[in-house]
C-alpha cells in the first residue's frame, strides 16, 4: 500500500538531515502505529506522504505508483478536528467531495451513508459546537473516509480527549477499521494505545532516521483490553516505553 524507497530529507534551516536513505513499507489492510520521541520525525513522514514536503532524494509509492502521478491516494485526520464552526455537520462532511467536484445529490447520499455508519445520522443539521469531543472526532474520521482513499493517516487523533472518551474512541476506531477495510498509519505517543490498536508498531529509534524498528503485536482481532494485562504485553509496553525514554534522555 505504502512504500518509502531510500528517502532522504533535511529541513532547510537544519544542518543535519531528518532522515537518510529511509526505506519501509506498509501492507494493505494493516493497522500500523508510528511511535517515537517528540520531534523525532513522525509528523514529517506524514507531510512527505501528503506532499506538503518534498524529499531530497528517494521515492514514495502508493499501490506501486509514485505519489506525484496519482490523486486522492491518502486521507488525513489531524490532532484537532478542524471542523468549520459556521458549517453544519453535513456541510463539513461535504468538503472533500466539493474539492473533488462531486455533484450535490451524490454528496448528500454519501454523507447520509457515512453518518449512519459512524452512528451520528441524527446530527446532520447540527453544528460542531453542539457535539462532544468524541463526536467531533467521529465526524473528522467520517470526513477522512469521504476522501475515498484506501490509505488513512491519523495524526494523534485522540490526544486531546479525556481518558475514558479516548478508550471508547480507540475501540470505536478498531470497529470502523474492520468494517471499512482501510490501511491505517497512526501516530501516537501512547505506547499502550499503540499496542491495543496495532497489528504492527513502527518505532523511530534514532535521528537521523535510517530505519524503523518493527514490532508485531501477537494478538488477533476483535480485541478487548484484557490482553493488555498479560505478562508478555506488560513486558512489551515496558520495553517500548524504556526505548522512548532513552531517546528523550
Task: Give per-residue pLDDT as tens, 130-152.
Answer: 998 888 888 888 888 888 889 99
Mean pLDDT for all residues in the chain: 89
Cβ neighbour number for residue 212 with a 10 Å cutoff: 21
pLDDT of residue 237: 93
Q: Are 96 and 147 in contact (CB under 8 A)?
A: yes
Is the pLDDT at 221 greater than 70? The verdict is yes
2-73+149-248: CATH topology is Rossmann fold (3.40.50)
Q: Is the pLDDT of residue 249 over 70?
A: no
pLDDT at 35: 92
Cβ burial of 218 (10 Å; 0-12, 13-18, 19+) is: exposed
Query: What pLDDT score does 244 carry?
Result: 84
Q: Where are the domains of the chain?
A: 2-73+149-248, 84-148
CA atoms within 13 A on the CB side of 6: 2
Phi-psi region of 236 (alpha: psi -120 to 50; beta: other; left: phi over 0): alpha
Question: What pLDDT is attached to residue 3?
Answer: 95
pLDDT digits (tens, 9 = 90+) for 31-42: 999 998 877 888
**Cell 470497529, located at residue:** 175
SS3 51: coil
Helix (H) or strand (E) holding 213: strand 213-216
What was the pLDDT predicted at 248?
Answer: 64
Extract the C-alpha cell encoding 84. 468549520
CA 92 to chain centre: 20
Average pLDDT over residues 74-90: 88
d(CA 21, CA 8): 5
- Average of per-residue pLDDT across 147-168: 87
Q: What is the dihedral angle through the alpha carbons of 133, 47, 28, 218, rounded to the nearest 10 degrees?
A: -70
Provide the whole-model pTM.
0.87
Comparing 4 with 82, the larger pLDDT belongs to 4
* pLDDT value, residue 70: 85
pLDDT band at 176 (very low <50, low <70, confident <90, very high): confident
Confidence (pLDDT) at 103: 87
- Is 147 or 198 the better-scoring residue by pLDDT? 198
Position 172 confidence tier, pLDDT thresholds 50, 70, 90: confident
Q: What is the pLDDT of residue 196?
A: 95
Amino acid at each position: 500500500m505504502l512504500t518509502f524507497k531510500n528517502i532522504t530529507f533535511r529541513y532547510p534551516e537544519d544542518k543535519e538531515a531528518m532522515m537518510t536513505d529511509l526505506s519501509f513499507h506498509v501492507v494493505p489492510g494493516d493497522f500500523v502505529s508510528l511511535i517515537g520521541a517528540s520531534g523525532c520525525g513522525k509528523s514529517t513522514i506524514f507531510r512527505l506522504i501528503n506532499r506538503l514536503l518534498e524529499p531530497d532524494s528517494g521515492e514514495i509509492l502508493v499501490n506501486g505508483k509514485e505519489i506525484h502521478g496519482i490523486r486522492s491516494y491518502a486521507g488525513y485526520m489531524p490532532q484537532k478536528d478542524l471542523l468549520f464552526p459556521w458549517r453544519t455537520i453535513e456541510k463539513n462532511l461535504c468538503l472533500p467531495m466539493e474539492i473533488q467536484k462531486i455533484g450535490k445529490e451524490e454528496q448528500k447520499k454519501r454523507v447520509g451513508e457515512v453518518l449512519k455508519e459512524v452512528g451520528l445520522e441524527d446530527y446532520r443539521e447540527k453544528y460542531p459546537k453542539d457535539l462532544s469531543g468524541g463526536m467531533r472526532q467521529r465526524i473528522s474520521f467520517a470526513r477522512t473516509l469521504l476522501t475515498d482513499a484506501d490509505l488513512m493517516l491519523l495524526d494523534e487523533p485522540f490526544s486531546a480527549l479525556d481518558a475514558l472518551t479516548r478508550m471508547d474512541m480507540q475501540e470505536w476506531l478498531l470497529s470502523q477499521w474492520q468494517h471499512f477495510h482501510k490501511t491505517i498509519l497512526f501516530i501516537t505517543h501512547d505506547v499502550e494505545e499503540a499496542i491495543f490498536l496495532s497489528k504492527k508498531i513502527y518505532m523511530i529509534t534514532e535521528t537521523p532516521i535510517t530505519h524503523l524498528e518493527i514490532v508485531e503485536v501477537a494478538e488477533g482481532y476483535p480485541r478487548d483490553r484484557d490482553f493488555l494485562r498479560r505478562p508478555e504485553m506488560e513486558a512489551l509496553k515496558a520495553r517500548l516505553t524504556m526505548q522512548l525514554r532513552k531517546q528523550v534522555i
